[in-house]
Structure 1
Amino acid sequence: MPKGGIYGVDLSETGNLYDVQDRNGHGTHVAGTIAGNGAILGVAPDVGIRAYRVFGAEGGAYNVWIIKALIAAANDGVNVINMSLGGIYIKGQVWWTDPDTGERIKLGNDVADYVAYMRAAKYAEKKGALIVAAAGNDGLNATNRKEVIDYANEKYSPYGYEFKGAGFYTPASLPNVVTVSATGPNDELAMYSNYGAGFVDVAAPGGNLELYYKYLNEGRFDEYINQRLYTKEFNLSSVPIVQYQYNDKGQIIGYTYVRPGYSWYVGTSMATPKASAVAALLFAKHKDASPSQVKVMLQNSAEKIGKPGKDIYFGYGLVNAYRALTMY
């Protein structure tokens, strides 16, 4: 994480490459799902794990940070790169209207970033690493480019942005990654999960929000919390307890790690590490396997929960560690 964090205002971020403390919680939740071996037991508790921290306390990261971390992981010889992150990249034209002057400014597009991701992903594959990426949490058909661009315009127009062309979820849309959609407690597609023909490779439990919104919309959210109904649809994993120190400008100037903690999260970010962990188990069993071979094993051993073949919602099916290790 560079000095100052993503917005340049987190003074606890000094640019120290060896500062791996997760200030946000998202990365630790993902890591616990993969390799937790204590109060939280991950899917692959005995695999090694490396942290490449690109998210600060605020969340979010610049593309160059993510791509540099991806390349670093490949150079370090990792077998699986979990990418519980992503966004919409525009192939076309981006405009921004200055709210003060009304001037409409031509900004370009995201083609260069997309190409950089493609090159980094190919490099990682050549180095022996399989990338596993989240499908995204916008509930969209990610292969319908107009639907994606319309959603981007709706979401970002209040900030003055306008998009023309086609929208691609990245890194999920890269051809050589494993893209993971999320399922709920009954093996249904989660209401927030992106999907799409040829987009999703496999599915994994990410939790759902049906009860959450039901009780919220009915004005009974206190019941939802008091009855711990989130335990029926969210994912429990590790999240560190961290306290922040602020200056009089509201900037973070320091932090203190307090203790291990645990929290309930939901999303394709929580589904992705389950698929990554099964891939790691396959690499552990098949030392000389290539990323493409492990991807095929992961797909072929998935439990069919959709239509035959490659389903629009679940790809080849729900990842299954037992089936993967007994079939191969």
Structure 2
Amino acid sequence: MLCISSGTTEDSEILRKAVAHAEENGAVVIAAVGNDNVREPNKVYYPAEYETVIGIGAIDNNDTVADFSQRNGVFAVTQGKDVMALSLNGTIKKYSGTSYANARAAGIIAGLLSQVPDSTPKDVRTAIAMSAVDLGEQGYDCDYGWGKINVYGALLMLMNLQIK
């Protein structure tokens, strides 16, 4: 798995090929969608925008999309606002950003892969999309993507995909 919490606003052939290479070799690629929505809502970040990348947006404790979270390239969302995390000086503080949501998603996906290790990147994307808690407009939407990642639903879906 590749967890990318940075991006570029320019579509790059090298980056596109690197993502394709990772996918071809069985790596699930997830990426933060960016934090510029308030200032530049039309900004697009790569690799989150690529079709095979799981672009992660941020929501708050009330499952409302965070105002800073980009609305482009969102595949799914997890908590990314007011996340309690260890600071560099060793204290626990609240942080916000799609990188925090992305780290949470990476942990979830790592857990899924530990339970169903033969899952392909496509299987993981399908399981997340099909089991997500739909929070926005019905079905896929730009704010929430497919919705909030449902850990147990995605696990059951992956297990069912492996049986077929």
TM over 0.5: yes
SS of structure 2 residue aligned to 1:263: strand
How many residues are paired up? 158
1:50-106 deviation line (CA, Å, top 9, x unaligned): xxxxxxxxxxxxxxxxxxxxxxxxxxxxxx2111112322xxxxxxxxxxxxxxxxx
| Residue 76 (structure 2) aligns with | 202
For 1:304-319, what aligned pairs fall within 5 Å after superposition? 304-319=134-149
Could you tell me how far apart the structure 2 residues matched to 1:115 and 1:304 are?
Answer: 33
| Residue 55 (structure 2) aligns with | 179
| Residue 189 (structure 1) aligns with | 65
Give ranges in structure 2 of 5+ residues lacking alignment: 160-164
Alpha-carbon RMSD: 2.1
Could you tell me how far apart the structure 2 residues matched to 1:294 and 1:323 are?
Answer: 12
| Residue 301 (structure 1) aligns with | 131
Could you tell me how far apart the structure 2 residues matched to 1:181 and 1:261 are?
Answer: 26
Using structure 2 for the length normalisation, give the TM-score.
0.86
Give the number of the structure whose alpha-carbon radius of gyration is greater: 1
Identity in percent: 29
| Residue 122 (structure 1) aligns with | 20
Could you tell me how far apart the structure 1 residues matched to 2:91 and 2:128 are?
Answer: 31
Per-residue deviation, 1:266: 0.4
The residue type equivalent to 2:9 in the other structure is: I
The residue type equivalent to 1:182 in the other structure is: A
Could you tell me how far apart the structure 1 residues matched to 2:155 and 2:123 are?
Answer: 14
Whether the 8 Å contact between 1:83 and 1:132 is mirrored in structure 2 is yes
Whether the 8 Å contact between 1:278 and 1:320 is mirrored in structure 2 is no
- Following TM superposition, the consecutive aligned residue runs of length 4 or more in structure 1 with deviations greater than 4 angstroms are none
| Residue 98 (structure 2) aligns with | 268
Give ranges in structure 1 of 5+ residues lacking alignment: 1-79, 90-110, 149-167, 208-233, 242-259
1:297-320 deviation line (CA, Å, top 9, x unaligned): 122121111112111210111012
For 1:132-171, what aligned pairs fall within 5 Å after superposition? 132-139=30-37, 147-148=42-43, 168-171=44-47
